[in-house]
Amino acid sequence: MFFDPFSNLLVFHKDNSFVIYEEYNEARKLSKIPRSLSFDLEHSAIISVSVHPSKQAIALQTAPTELAVLFVSPNDVDEVHFKYSKASRILKHSFCFGDDFNFMTVTDRSITLYDLALSTHQPKTVKQIALDAKGYQACHYEPFANTLALVDGSGSVTVYYLNMHNAKFKSHSSKLTTYFNLDISLVDESDGKQED
């Protein structure tokens, strides 16, 4: 079972079948009947799922460094594969509402923004942003604001404002990223005092 916060869909998966549920809306009579999809896949495991709000595309993480995007039409399923051979793992993938991109992936080596054409099933790489090898431990993506926060083991947080990926600035500073540190010192819960 997977939940995609961008499309607000709950996806159940077993063998080669998918059942996609939306939040039921009584006033609009939406999602009374879930959408059920069944097709042959060559993937033995699915690690994570993201769904385009139109339900015409489903992204599946099928291995630590591999994604498959399924373009679903009434009569056919077209599959496009992405392999990130320089990365050791995919941290996040999501559909989104970007200025010139509608899908993003984050690996431990890079952020990649794509324009996935739902009509032609052709992916186009819009921008690839290299990441330094900090060993990111956590990743949070807010798809509606296109904001990505990466946290490394020391508590250093790097925030990426992905809609600013191609902005030009006169100074040397970039509006693409913001940095700050988290206080990750241990707290003794018995008396509320911080440990040294």
pTM of the model: 0.73
Q: What percent of the chain has pLDDT over 70?
A: 61
Q: Provide the pLDDT for residue 170.
A: 45
pLDDT surpasses 80 at 126:
yes
Angle value at C-alpha 164, between 160 and 167, nearest 5 degrees: 135
Residue 87 in domain: yes
pLDDT in tens, 34-61: 555 555 566 667 888 888 888 788 888 8
- As a whole number, mean pLDDT of residues 150-166 equals 82
Residue 47 lies in a domain: yes
Tell me which of 47 and 176 has the higher pLDDT: 47
Domain-located, residue 167: no
At 134, is the pLDDT very low, low, confident or very high (cuts 50, 70, 90)?
low
User: For residue 195, is it within any domain?
Assistant: no
Number of domains in the chain: 1
Does 32 have pLDDT greater than 70?
no
In a domain, 104, yes or no: yes
Q: Are strands 17-22 and 9-14 parallel, antiparallel or unpaired?
A: antiparallel
**What's the average model confidence in pLDDT over 135-164?**
84
E strand map for the chain: 2-4, 9-14, 17-22, 35-38, 48-51, 57-63, 66-72, 77-83, 90-95, 103-107, 110-117, 122-130, 136-142, 147-152, 156-161, 177-181
Q: Of the candidates 3, 36, 4, 38, which has an alpha carbon nearest to the alpha carbon of residue 20?
A: 36
SS3 115: strand
> For the domain that residue 67 is a member of, what is the CATH number?
2.130.10.10
Mean pLDDT to the nearest integer, 146-163: 85
For 87-113, what is each residue's pLDDT tens digit? 988 999 999 888 889 999 999 888 999
**pLDDT at residue 153, rounded to an integer:** 78
* Position 84 in a domain: yes
The predicted-structure confidence for 7-26, as pLDDT tens digits, reads as follows 666 665 666 666 666 655 56
Instruction: Establish if 46 belongs to a structural domain.
Output: yes
What residues contact residue 54 under an 8 Å CB cut-off, 6+ apart?
118
Residue 131, φ and ψ in degrees, nearest 5: -110, 145
Kindly indicate the confidence band of residue 118, based on its pLDDT and cuts at 50, 70 and 90: confident
Question: In which domain, by residue range, is 30 found?
Answer: 2-133
Counting every residue written for the chain, the total comes to: 196
Mean pLDDT lowest among 69-73, 140-144, 164-168, 190-194: 190-194
Residue 82 lies in a domain: yes
Amino acid at 179: Y
Q: What is the pLDDT of residue 15?
A: 64
Q: Return the SS3 of 181.
A: strand
Taking the C-alpha atoms of residue 123 and residue 62, their distance in angstroms, rounded to an integer, is 18
Q: What does the mean pLDDT of the chain come to? A: 75
